[in-house]
A and B are shown apart, each in its own frame.
Chain A
Amino acid sequence: MSITREEPSTAGMDHGGGYLRGIGNVVGLELRQRLRSRGWFILLGIWFVLIGFVTLLSWSGANASREYSEVAGGSQPSSAGPMIFEIVVAFVLLFGLLVAPALSANAVNGDRSGGTLAILQVTLLTPGQILWGKFLASWIAALAFLVSSAPFLVIAVVLGGMTPGHILVSLGMLAVELAVVCGIGVGISGLANRPLFSIVVSYLTIAALVVGTVIAFALGVRLTQGTVLANEADYQQSQVYLPESGQVPSGPGYVCGGPLQEQRTVHTERVAWLLSLNPYVVVADAIPYPPRAGQSLGMAGVLGANGMLEGISQGARAALAGPAGTYPCAGGKVQASYLEQTTPMWPLGLVLQFLLAGGLMWLGWRALRTPSRKLARGTRIA
C-alpha cells in the first residue's frame, strides 16, 4: 500500500476555510430540501398576496380618508406614504415573527427524529458547523419572505414622503429580527426532543417578546413607585397658540416655578429594558423619523399622531428616560416633550435579544456535541 493520503489528523483538523465550507455544505443541504418542498413556495405565495392585500387596503384607506378630509375642508393634506410604509413594516414584522419559528424550530430535532442528524454527526462536521448551517439556512429561508415583501415597501416610498434610507433601515432591522427569531428557534430545537414541542416553545418565546414584555413592563412599573424632586408646572403662563399669528408654539406649554418638592411618580427607567426586548420597539426605534424637536406634541407624540412606529419609539424612550427626563418640572427644568433620537433604545434591545438567542444557540450546541455524554430520557440519538 504505497499510496498515501494526508494523515487523518491533519485532514480532520483543517480549520479556517474548511470550517466555513462545512457550514456551506449544511446550508446547501437544508436549502435544497427547502426548495424542493412545495409547502415553502405555497407559504411564500400566500405571504406575497397577503402583504399585497394589506398594502392595497392601507393605500385605499388612506385615499378614502384624504378624500373625506378634502371634502370636509380639513387641514391635513398628508401623503399616504408614511402610513402605508408603517403598516407594511408592522405587518411584515408580524408575519415574519409568525413564519420564522416554523422555519427554524424543528431544524435540529426534526432531523433527529428523521434519523438524519446522526448521519451528519458521524462525518467530520463539528456541532458548531451543523448549528450555524441550520441557523443560516433558516435565516435565508426567512429572508426570502422579507425579499418578497420588499416591493411593497418600495411602493410605500414611491407614494411619497419616505426616503430609500427608510427602506434600507427597516429591511435591515427586520432581517436582524428574523435572525434573532431563527436563532431562538434553532437553539430550542437543539434542546427539545420533539419538533412539536420546540415549535410551540419557540412561538411562546416570541409571544413573550412581543406581548409578554409589554405586560411585564406594565406590571413591573407598579413596583417602581418612588418620588422625584420637581416644582410646580404652570400651564397658564405659557404661550397661547394663535393660529392667526402663524406662530407655532415652541415650548412644551408650561413654565416651572416654586420650590422643589418630592412628587410621587413611577421610575419606569428601572423596567424599561423589558420593552427594549420587544421586536416592535427595536424596529420602530431604529427607523429614523424627521426631527420634531420644535413642535409641541405633548402626549400626542406618544400616542401616534406622527405615526405608530414613531409613537412606539417615543413611548419606549420616555419609559427609558424615566421621571427625571419626562416628569414636568423635574429638577425645576422644563422637559422637552420630544426625546431625541440621539438617545436610542434599539441597541440595548438588540444586545438583549442577541444574548437570548445566543444563549439558546449555545445550549443547543452543547446538546449537539458528540460523543454525547448526557442524553435526555427516552431519546434515541439515531
Chain B
Amino acid sequence: MTAEFAGPVRELQNDDDGGGGGVVATGISRRFGTVKAVEHIDFIAPAGQVTALIGPNGAGKTTLLLILATLLAPDTGSVRIFGVDPSENAAAARLNIGWMPDTLGVWESLTAREILTLMGKLYRMPPKRITARVSELLDLVHLGELADQPARVFSRGQQQRLSLARALIHDPGVLMLDEPASGLDPGARIDLRNLLRRLAGEGKAIVVSSHVLSELDEIADGAVFVNHGRSVKQQTLTEAASQGRRYAVTARDMAALAGKLEQLGLVYRTGTGRRGSISLLLANEADAVRLLRELVITGVAVTSFAPAAGALEETYLTLEGEQR
C-alpha cells in the first residue's frame, strides 16, 4: 500500500520536508453568530506524527477539524495542507486529506465495497487501481467478510472501520479522525492504534480528536489542548511525561503508608477511588523509583504503585484546574 499509492503526498512532502509538511494552521478564528467556536487557534500536525486534539465537549475540536478538512472557512487565519492553501486550491488540498467524521455518515443501502469504490471514483483514481485498493482496505479494517453486505447491517464499530477505510481510499497525506475510537471494541482499538502508528511511520500527518486520554497516551506523539475555542497548550508527549506525574499507591496498611509519607515530608491526597489509595505528585520517574525503594525497604507492604493517570490526562487536569 505504501509504494503504489505514494503519489502527490510524498512528493509534496519531500518538497516541504522540515518546513511546512503536514497540517499547519495559524490564527484560526470562526464564529457562528455570536458564538465564538474557535478563537485564534494555532495548530501544527507534523508529517510522520500522530497529533492529538484534546479538549472538553464543545471546546471547538470538531469546528477546528471541519476547518482543517476544508468544509468550513475560517473567519480569520490560514490553513496549509502540505503547503497547499485550501481556500486557493481546494481540490489539491482535498487530494491530501482523509477525513473521518464523528457522525459516520454511511450510505446504508450500499455495500462496503460499493462505498469504497465510489469514493475512489470521486477522488478520480484510475478504475483498475480502485478495485485493488478497495480489497486491500477491506482487509486492512477486517471487513473482508462483510464486503458485500449493505452497510445497514453493520454495527457501529464496523461502520467506524468502514469510515476509516473510506478516509484512506486515496492514500491521503493527512488523516483527520474525529473520535475514531468511540464504539470500537478493545481489539479494534488496538488495531486502530497499530494502524495509526504505522500510517504515521509512512510519513502521514495524523490528527486524532478524542477525549479518551489514556487511548491517546499510547499513540500520540504530541498533543494540542483546546478549550473555550482557544488552543491552550501544545506539547509533545515527552514534555508531558516530564512535567511530573501523579502516582497512586496502595498498601496493606494504609495508615503506615501515610505515616511514612508524612515522615518523608511528601504532600499526598487520600484517593476517592473504590479501593482507598493515596496519590501524590512526583517530578519524574527517578523520583518514583526512589520512593518505591524507600517504602519497600522501610517495611511498608506496598500492594500497588503506578501512575494514577496518563501523561496527557495530567496536563488536561492541570489545564482544567487553571480554567476554574
**Does A pair with B?**
yes
Check if A377 sits within 8 Å of B105, measured CB to CB. no
Contacts A12-B89, A115-B103 known; A122 to B8 CB distance under 8 Å? no
Check if B109 sits within 8 Å of A11, measured CB to CB. no
From A3, A122, A371, contact of B67 by CB (8 A):
A371
* Min CB–CB distance B17 → chain A (angstroms): 11
* Min CB–CB distance B234 → chain A (angstroms): 24
* Interface: B119 (CB within 8 A): yes
Whose C-beta in chain B lies nearest to the C-beta of A7?
B8
Whose C-beta in chain B lies nearest to the C-beta of A370?
B71
Check if A11 sits within 8 Å of B95, measured CB to CB. yes
* Min CB–CB distance B9 → chain A (angstroms): 9
Selecting from A32-40, A45-53, A326-334, the interface stretch reads: A32-40
A33 contacts which chain B residues (CB < 8 A)? 107, 109-110
Contacts A1-B14, A5-B7, A25-B122 known; A118 to B95 CB distance under 8 Å? no
Check if A122 sits within 8 Å of B97, measured CB to CB. yes
Q: Binary interface profile of B, 62-90, with partner A (CB < 8 Å = 1, else 0)?
A: 10001101111110000000001011011
Bound-state Cα–Cα, A18 to B89, Å: 17
Check if B109 sits within 8 Å of A32, measured CB to CB. yes
Whose C-beta in chain B lies nearest to the C-beta of A116?
B105
Check if B89 sits within 8 Å of A9, measured CB to CB. yes
Check if B124 sits within 8 Å of A11, measured CB to CB. yes
B136 contacts which chain A residues (CB < 8 A)? none
Check if B123 sits within 8 Å of A382, measured CB to CB. no
Check if B122 sits within 8 Å of A124, measured CB to CB. yes
Bound-state Cα–Cα, A122 to B90, Å: 9
Check if B107 sits within 8 Å of A118, measured CB to CB. no
* Interface: B299 (CB within 8 A): no
Contacts A8-B96, A32-B110, A382-B71 known; A3 to B124 CB distance under 8 Å? no
Check if B124 sits within 8 Å of A375, measured CB to CB. no
* Interface: A381 (CB within 8 A): yes
Contacts A8-B84, A119-B105 known; A372 to B71 CB distance under 8 Å? yes
Give residues of chain A (75-117) contacting chain B, Cβ–Cβ below 8 Å.
114-117
Check if A8 sits within 8 Å of B73, measured CB to CB. no
A28 contacts which chain B residues (CB < 8 A)? 118
Check if A382 sits within 8 Å of B101, measured CB to CB. yes
* Min CB–CB distance B316 → chain A (angstroms): 25
Q: Binary interface profile of A, 128-156, with partner B (CB < 8 Å = 1, else 0)?
A: 00000000000000000000000000000
Give residues of chain B (31-62) contacting chain A, Cβ–Cβ below 8 Å.
32-33, 62
Check if B95 sits within 8 Å of A115, measured CB to CB. no
* Interface: B166 (CB within 8 A): yes
Q: Binary interface profile of B, 155-193, with partner A (CB < 8 Å = 1, else 0)?
A: 000000000001000000000000000000000000000
* Interface: A13 (CB within 8 A): yes
* Interface: B195 (CB within 8 A): no
B74 contacts which chain A residues (CB < 8 A)? 371
Check if B32 sits within 8 Å of A124, measured CB to CB. no
Whose C-beta in chain B lies nearest to the C-beta of A33?
B109
Bound-state Cα–Cα, A21 to B62, Å: 32
Check if A371 sits within 8 Å of B73, measured CB to CB. yes
Bound-state Cα–Cα, A32 to B89, Å: 31
Check if A32 sits within 8 Å of B105, measured CB to CB. no
A119 contacts which chain B residues (CB < 8 A)? 101, 105, 119, 166
* Interface: A237 (CB within 8 A): no
Whose C-beta in chain A lies nearest to the C-beta of B150?
A36
Contacts A371-B70, A381-B66, A382-B71 known; A12 to B94 CB distance under 8 Å? yes
Bound-state Cα–Cα, A21 to B121, Å: 9
Contacts A119-B105, A381-B72 known; A125 to B122 CB distance under 8 Å? yes
* Min CB–CB distance A109 → chain B (angstroms): 14
Check if A375 sits within 8 Å of B6, measured CB to CB. no
Contacts A1-B11, A377-B32 known; A123 to B72 CB distance under 8 Å? no
Bound-state Cα–Cα, A125 to B70, Å: 13
Check if B8 sits within 8 Å of A5, measured CB to CB. yes
Bound-state Cα–Cα, A14 to B205, Å: 27
* Interface: A22 (CB within 8 A): yes
Bound-state Cα–Cα, A22 to B86, Å: 20
From A29, A372, A381, contact of B107 by CB (8 A):
A29
* Interface: A4 (CB within 8 A): yes
Check if A120 sits within 8 Å of B11, measured CB to CB. no
Contacts A12-B94, A381-B71, A382-B66 known; A123 to B11 CB distance under 8 Å? no
Whose C-beta in chain A lies nearest to the C-beta of B84?
A8
* Interface: A121 (CB within 8 A): yes
Of B84, B96, B105, the most chain A CB neighbours within 10 A belong to B105
Bound-state Cα–Cα, A22 to B119, Å: 11
Whose C-beta in chain B lies nearest to the C-beta of A374?
B73
* Interface: B314 (CB within 8 A): no
Whose C-beta in chain B lies nearest to the C-beta of A14?
B124
Whose C-beta in chain A lies nearest to the C-beta of B8?
A8
Of A1, A21, A381, the most chain B CB neighbours within 10 A belong to A1
Check if B92 sits within 8 Å of A12, measured CB to CB. yes
From A3, A370, A375, contact of B3 by CB (8 A):
A3
Bound-state Cα–Cα, A33 to B110, Å: 7
* Interface: B254 (CB within 8 A): no
Check if B101 sits within 8 Å of A124, measured CB to CB. no
Q: A22-B122, A116-B107 are in contact. List 7 more A-B contacts (CB 8 A).
A: A4-B11, A6-B7, A8-B96, A37-B109, A116-B106, A118-B105, A122-B99
A-B residue pairs in contact (CB < 8 Å), sample of 24? A6-B8, A8-B91, A8-B96, A9-B89, A9-B92, A11-B91, A12-B89, A12-B124, A21-B121, A25-B121, A33-B110, A36-B109, A115-B101, A115-B104, A119-B119, A122-B69, A122-B99, A123-B94, A370-B71, A371-B90, A372-B71, A375-B32, A382-B66, A382-B101
